[in-house]
Structure formats: C-alpha cells, structure tokens
Amino acid sequence: MKHLIQHIFLSGLMLMSLFTNAQQTPAGKQTETISITGVTAHVGNGTVVNNATIVFDNGVITEVGANVSPKGKIINAEGKHVYPGFITVNSTLGLGEVDAVRASMDVNEIGSISPNIRSLIAYNAESRVVESMRPNGVLMGQIVPRGGRLTGTSSVVQFDAWNWEDAAVKVDDALHLNWPNSFSRGRWWLGEPAGYSPNKNYSSEIETFKTFLTDAKIYAKTKPAKKNLAFEAVQGLFDGSQKLFIDATSEKEIIDAVTFAKEMGIDKVVLVGAYHAYKITDFLKQHNIPVVVGRTQSTPSFEDDDYDLPYKNPKLLHDAGLLVTINPGGRMERMNTRNLPFYAGQVVGQGMDKEDALKLITSNAAKILGIDDKYGTLEVGKSATLFISEGDALDMRGNVLSHAFIDGRNISLESHHTNLYQRYSNKFNEQQD
C-alpha cells in the first residue's frame, strides 16, 4: 500500500508539471496588413521566387512576387527564406503527453472496430509536445486515434489554439483501418516456431470488416429508429465525404486492401506505411492511391532490403508518379514529429530535387488531406500559414525560424525546449565569465 501511495503521489507530481508551464498564449487575429520583403519564397508547388514580397491581410495571402509593392507592416527578411507551414499526416499529437503517465495518454481505445471514436474531441490544444512542433515549422497536422482494426475518425488541426474547437481545420476528415498481416512472427514465449508463418486468421479478419461495412450499408438504406453510432460513422466512406486511410505493409496486403475497398464502393483510399509499395507502383497508379510512406530516418525492416530503402522510399514512389507524403509514425512518434522537415531533407540526400522534397510535407500533404484549396502553398487566395527561416528549412543547420504565422496570426515560437535552452545558455555564459 505504501508503494502504491508513493506511485500515485509521483504520478500526480508529473501531471502537475505538465500544466505548470502551459503552452504559449495563442496569437490574436491579424489586425493589419503584413508584407514580407526581400525573401526567397519556396512556394511549395516546386517553384521558387527570388527577392520576393509576400503580402497578406485578414489571414489570406493577397500578393506574391518579385515586383510586388509592400503594404502595411513590413518585415524585412532579406537573405532569408519563406515556406508554407509544414503539415504532418497520420499523427497522434495532442492525444498523448508522457508515455509513462497513463493519465496523460488518450491514444488507444478498447475494441477492434470503433469508427465512431473521434480524435478531435480528445485533442489537447495546450500540449507541450504540440507546442514544440512550431519552432521547426510544423504548423498543422492530421490527428489520428489508434487501437484495434478500424481505429476511429481523424481530424485536421492547426497548432496554435485555445481548445480543440479553435484548432479544427477539417473535422472528421477520414477513417483509419489497420489491415491485418498475412504472415505473423512466431512468439517464442508461447512455444511457437521462430520466424514468419502464414496468419491463419487473415481471411476471417478481412471478413469481419466486410460484414461490418455491408451491415453499415444496409443500415443506411433501412434507416432504423434506433441509431447505431458505429454504422453512422462510416457513411462518409460511401458518399465520398470521407477518405479511408489503410495501414498496410507488403505487396499482398496492399493489393488485398485496395481491392477490398474498391469492392465495397469506397473510392477515396489512402495507403499508410506502404513499406513495399515501391514494388507495385503500377497497381497504385491504376487505382489513383496516394501514399503516406514511413519516416526516412529508420533502419530496414527485413534482412534482404536495401540498407538505404527507408531513406529513398519516398523518392521511389515520387519518381513512379504517385502522390506521396511522409508519416512520422514509429517509436516516440509525437516527439519525433518535430523532425518532419529533416525526414524530407533526408530524401534530398538520395537525389530528390529539394523543391520536390518540400512538396512531400506541404502541397502533397494538403492534397492528401483535402485542404489544398487553402493550405500547402504560398499562393494568392490561400491561408497565410507560413514561416520565415534563416536558411534551408529541410536542413537542421538552416531551420532557424524568426517568424511564423497561422492564418495570418503571428504565433509564438517559444516552447519548453527554447526556455530550457535559454536557461542553460545563461548558466554556461555565467560560468565562462
């Protein structure tokens, strides 16, 4: 009992520490016209404008070009670079804070099929992990629930808000399905053979999805008096108002998953993970499937893979003509999402054009999420969600932000990390004196 009380007490202290230094106060609405001058503008669609001026008012870009006259408040950014805000896809940001503190985690739900679980209402806009994204230019993201097979419904948010209502950019944009593996690794602790063996439950697990979606279609036609929240949550898949993100790895799983979705009448499908998608690009092009490929700074999954496959995977898919973005999922995915620009920069080292690599986390991500009418590029009529960097934002040596804006609001770039940096820099300087 004594140890239990100590554990509860320490957990309480850790929770208190999470909220003692809350996130920076969200910025107010843009109140005057702002012009950024003398800057290199990386539009996000593959083009670059040198010595550009960008003008925005009421949160919307009104002028972009080399021969634009500045208006209103002028920010002289000569020698610097402007980028669209980076967008992360398939993230759990805001759903978990400290892995070791269970009370701060709201990532997974109980149950195998839970499409009515909505990530948006669980999103913590004051997360200090979310706050740490902004100094690297990651300003927006798709927030996805985990757990089970049909995990729930995601939403797209921006990363400077008072609460989830303020944060919402696109509500309930997609549902997420973890496709079963056709092979499973033996569990030695249960006496199973080592290595991979066929998954005996593969067909039955797929049949479970099929039965559920078939019943959901019947439910929509019959319209019973008693509501079924799970059935209602998937109706957007059939009328095209929502996309289905399917997490699948190998060629067989990918082909089975896409074929299944098409047979069920689901037209808008996005592939997630897609480790071996480069082997079946013709199939994916035939069905117009965008890909959210795994993060580049990782090691190969199988012994016979190229040693640099994770580094070059996005380029292989891009060169094949697919619409690609990068998924920061994996170990410590929430914390590591701040490295999103460097994941894209990794692909430049594999021979990808730098502006094409930028598209991976700007315009491509916006298109996959269906928000490209407002976000993802520096174009007239689109949201002034952008930032000014001292240098190359895809290189950690150049990714030093001086300003960042979300919908024209001049947001804070302070975070727990920057506070600690300043604190210990002062200590170091004092010791040097």
User: In a structure prediction context, what are the per-residue pLDDT tens digits for the chain, which is 433 residues long?
Assistant: 445 444 544 455 444 444 445 567 899 999 999 999 999 999 999 999 999 999 999 999 999 999 999 999 999 999 999 999 999 999 999 998 887 788 787 878 888 899 999 999 999 999 999 999 999 999 999 999 998 899 999 999 999 999 999 999 999 999 999 999 888 777 777 777 777 778 888 999 999 999 999 999 999 999 888 899 999 999 999 999 999 999 999 999 999 999 999 999 999 999 999 999 999 999 999 999 999 999 898 888 888 888 889 999 999 999 999 999 998 887 788 888 999 999 999 999 999 999 999 999 999 999 999 999 999 999 999 999 999 999 999 999 999 999 999 999 999 998 877 878 788 887 777 777 6
Number of domains observed in the structure of the chain: 2
Rounded CA separation 418/408 (Å): 23
SS3 content of the chain, % helix, strand, coil (to 5): 35, 25, 40
For residues 358 and 381, state if they share a domain: no
Same domain assignment for residues 249 and 313? yes
Among candidate residues 189, 191, 126, 194, the one with its CA nearest the CA of residue 163:
126
The domain of 349 spans 86-374
Helix pair angle (340-348, 309-319), 10° resolution: 80
CATH assignment at residue 193: 3.20.20.140
Q: Who contacts 350 (Cβ-Cβ below 8 Å, separation ≥6)? A: 308, 311, 312, 315
- The residues, ordered by sequence, that sit 6+ positions from 270 with a Cβ below 8 Å of its Cβ are 174, 243, 244, 245, 246, 289, 290, 291, 292, 368
Angle between helices 251-263 and 202-222 (to 10 degrees): 20
pLDDT value, residue 15: 47
Chain centre distance of CA 155: 10
Residues 292 and 109: their CA atoms lie apart, in Å, by: 23
Of the three residues 374, 402, 419, the one that is the final residue of a domain is 374
In contact, 362 and 379? CB cutoff 8 Å: no
Distance of CA 34 to the CA centre of its chain: 28
Cβ atoms of 330 and 294 closer than 8 Å? yes
Q: Which of 77, 84, 82, 8 is nearest to 364 (CA)?
A: 84
Residue 341 lies inside a defined structural domain of this protein = yes
Distance between CA 139 and CA 27 in Å, rounded? 13
Alpha-carbon dihedral sign for residues 97, 99, 102, 106:
positive
Q: Do residues 288 and 427 share a domain? A: no
Contact status, residue 140 vs residue 174, Cβ threshold 8 Å: no
**What span, in angstroms and rounded, lies between the C-alpha atoms of 296 and 53?**
33
175 in a structural domain: yes
Residue 12 lies in a domain: no
User: What pLDDT is stored for residue 278 in this prediction?
Assistant: 95
Q: What is the pLDDT of residue 299?
A: 86
324-327 sheet: strands from edge to edge: 86-91, 138-143, 150-158, 168-178, 243-248, 269-273, 291-294, 324-327
How far apart CA 43 and CA 376 sit, in angstroms, is 9
Is the torsion defined by CA of 267, 270, 274, 279 positive or negative?
positive
- DSSP assignment letter at 392: -
Domain boundary among 374, 396, 417: 374
Would you say residue 8 lies in a domain? no
- 10 lies in some domain: no
Pairing of strands 168-178, 243-248: parallel
First and final CA of the chain: distance in angstroms? 51
Structure tokens at 196: 């991979």
Q: What CATH number corresponds to the domain at position 421? A: 2.30.40.10
Cβ(386)–Cβ(370) under 8 Å? no
- Rounded CA separation 1/9 (Å): 12
Q: Is residue 5 part of a domain?
A: no
Statement to judge: residues 31 and 118 lie in one domain: no
- Domain end call among 359, 374, 389: 374
Q: How far is C-alpha 305 from the geometric centre of its chain's CA atoms?
A: 26
Assess whether 183 and 300 both reside in one domain: yes
| 257-262, long-range: CB < 8 A, 24+ apart | 257/177, 257/179, 258/283, 258/284, 258/287, 258/289, 260/206, 260/209, 260/210, 262/287
Domain identity same for 263 and 389: no
228, 232, 238: which is closest to 261 by C-alpha?
238
Q: Same domain, yes or no, for 354 and 380?
A: no
Q: Are residues 167 and 252 in the same domain?
A: yes
Residue 151 lies in a domain: yes
Q: Do residues 63 and 106 both lie within one domain?
A: no
Q: Which amino acid is at 404?
A: A
User: Residues 208, 131: one domain?
Assistant: yes
Specify whether 277 is located in the same domain as 380: no
Q: What is the pTM of this model?
A: 0.90
What pLDDT is attached to residue 23? 61
Whether residue 139 sits in one domain with residue 216? yes
> Is 94 a member of any domain?
yes
